[in-house]
Amino acid sequence: MTSPLRALRLRARRSLDPAHYDYYAGGAGDERALGENERAFARLALLPRILRGAERRDTTVALFGDRAAMPVIVSPTAFHRLAHPQGERAVARATAAAGTILTTGMAATTPVAAVVDAARSERPDAAVWFQLYLQPEPEVTEALVRRAEKAGCSALVVTVDSPVFGRRERDERHGFHDLPAGLAAENMRDLPGTGPGGLRAIAMSPASSWDDLRRLRSMTALPVLLKGVLHPEDARLAVAEGVDGLIVSNHGGRQLDAAPATVEALPRIADAVAGRIPVLLDGGVRRGSDAALALALGATAVGVGRPVLWGLAADGEKGVRQVLDLLHTEFDHTLALCGGRSPADLTRDMVVTRGRPAGTGGSPW
Ligand SMILES: Cc1cc2nc3c(=O)[nH]c(=O)nc-3n(C[C@H](O)[C@H](O)[C@H](O)COP(=O)(O)O)c2cc1C
Ligand SMILES: CCCCC(=O)C(=O)O
């Protein structure tokens, strides 16, 4: 059986330049983290509860003052105009129409203001978050923050899993290191001291520290999420620092290939945070039931990266809408089958590991 998402990926593969397909699909090193993200979900199972459901479920979640129609949001992915001429605008409209939150990023091929406009043209209260990497020069970081604020973004997502860029062997093989003529990292234009901007203006900052994060937080009143947290001690530090939310992520297996599957890292992070701030997760979510598993293990919401790119490459705005609607329908269906009325009804006691009898001490949770 071919799942609808897999079918879209195969269509996307046919429509994309092979170097661009491999850039989207690939991961670092042997792609262990990439593969494990999906396989780890497949190793988990849900113990449904009975006789306590509702005629209609409420799948909405609240996140930092925004509401999403489902606990599935769009993770930041670079260069959407490689996939489709409408690029980030198409993703913004589809995400707004699906009622959920888009995270656009500093590596977008459409300026953040245009992305927010596209989302709001579809739904006036659509929420867009902005993802950034801390830049070596604080003035550059600050200029990006101002761009996001001015555009109307409602949260900042600081990606902290990329002190250096991952080693992606597919990109090496294709020699894919820059954007084709006509495309640029539009948010990087005309920033202080970065020259004409574009992709090469995006710097990784191996020496950035909690001090730099404090400085960023002092620049803005927007909620700040850290993306790429895997160690429970970092989760504790982040809460102590006053960070507003965490995203458990291994960057879709594109950074540290030795990183664990995100859903396996999640329970310890959730325990460390103990409900004090929302914990999100991304990596390997391909079904509504994957979202349900992550919620049961302590996530407030999950993000999807590649599924959105496959929808975009296969069928533009319509393809992205199809992906998000499918995940919504599947999540609602899973919730109904588990006897849940709302996402809060998915709890850790409902998660077991396949291949081991439940209740025999076999579950790591
Ligand atoms: C092609 C591609 C580009 C990405 N670009 C970014 C980025 O610019 N910033 C970032 O924080 N994460 C980036 N990510 C990581 C995603 O935000 C997310 O963590 C990951 O894709 C989730 O895994 P999934 O693709 O299995 O859903 C990118 C991922 C992909 C596949
Ligand atoms: C400098 C572009 C960053 C894109 C990215 O994060 C990725 O390809 O995973």
Q: Whose CA is nearest to atom 20 of ligand 1?
A: 252
Among all ligands shown, which has an atom nearest to the Cα of 247?
A: 1
Cα 254 to averaged position of ligand 1 atoms, centre (Å): 8
Confidence of residue 364 (pLDDT cuts 50, 70, 90): low
Q: Is the ipTM of this complex over 0.85?
A: yes
A 10 A CB-CB count for 80 gives 28
What is the spatial distance between Cα 104 and Cα 116, in angstroms, rounded to a whole number? 9
Confidence (pLDDT) at 137: 96
Confidence of residue 193 (pLDDT cuts 50, 70, 90): confident
**Ligand 2 site residues, Cβ closer than 6 angstroms:** 78, 107, 202, 251, 254
Confidence (pLDDT) at 199: 78
Confidence (pLDDT) at 329: 98
Residue 337: enclosing H or E segment and its boundaries? helix 306-337
Q: How many CA atoms lie within 13 A of 197 on its CB side?
A: 18
- The single-letter code of the amino acid at 24 is Y
Determine the average pLDDT of the residues in 98-109: 98
**CATH code for residues 4-352:** 3.20.20.70
Residue 45, pLDDT above cutoff 70: yes
SS3 of 310, please?
helix
Residue 108, pLDDT above cutoff 60: yes
Q: How is residue 277 written in tokens?
A: 């701030």
Q: Domain locations in the chain?
A: 4-352
31: left (phi over 0), alpha (psi -120 to 50) or beta: left
Q: How is residue 132 written in tokens?
A: 């950034």
What is the spatial distance between Cα 105 and Cα 152, in angstroms, rounded to a whole number? 14
Confidence of residue 66 (pLDDT cuts 50, 70, 90): very high
Confidence of residue 361 (pLDDT cuts 50, 70, 90): low
Q: How is residue 150 written in tokens?
A: 């001015």
Is ligand 1 within 6 A of the CB of residue 227?
A: yes
User: Per-residue DSSP letters for 245-293?
Assistant: EEEE--GGGTS-TTPPPHHHHHHHHHHHHTTSS-EEEESS--SHHHHHH
Residue 95, pLDDT above cutoff 70: yes
User: Where does 50-152 show beta strands of DSSP type E?
Assistant: 61-63, 66-68, 72-74, 102-105, 128-132
Is ligand 1 within 6 A of the CB of residue 103?
A: no
Catalytic residue numbers, as ranges: 251
Cα 357 to averaged position of ligand 2 atoms, centre (Å): 41
Confidence of residue 2 (pLDDT cuts 50, 70, 90): confident
What is the spatial distance between Cα 120 and Cα 344, in angstroms, rounded to a whole number? 29
Question: Is 159 annotated for ligand binding?
Answer: yes
Determine the average pLDDT of the residues in 277-300: 98
Q: Whose CA is nearest to atom 4 of ligand 2?
A: 78
Confidence (pLDDT) at 52: 97
Confidence (pLDDT) at 359: 65
Among residues of the chain, what percentage have pLDDT more than 70?
Answer: 97
Cα 82 to averaged position of ligand 1 atoms, centre (Å): 15
Ligand 2: atom nearest CA of 162 is 6
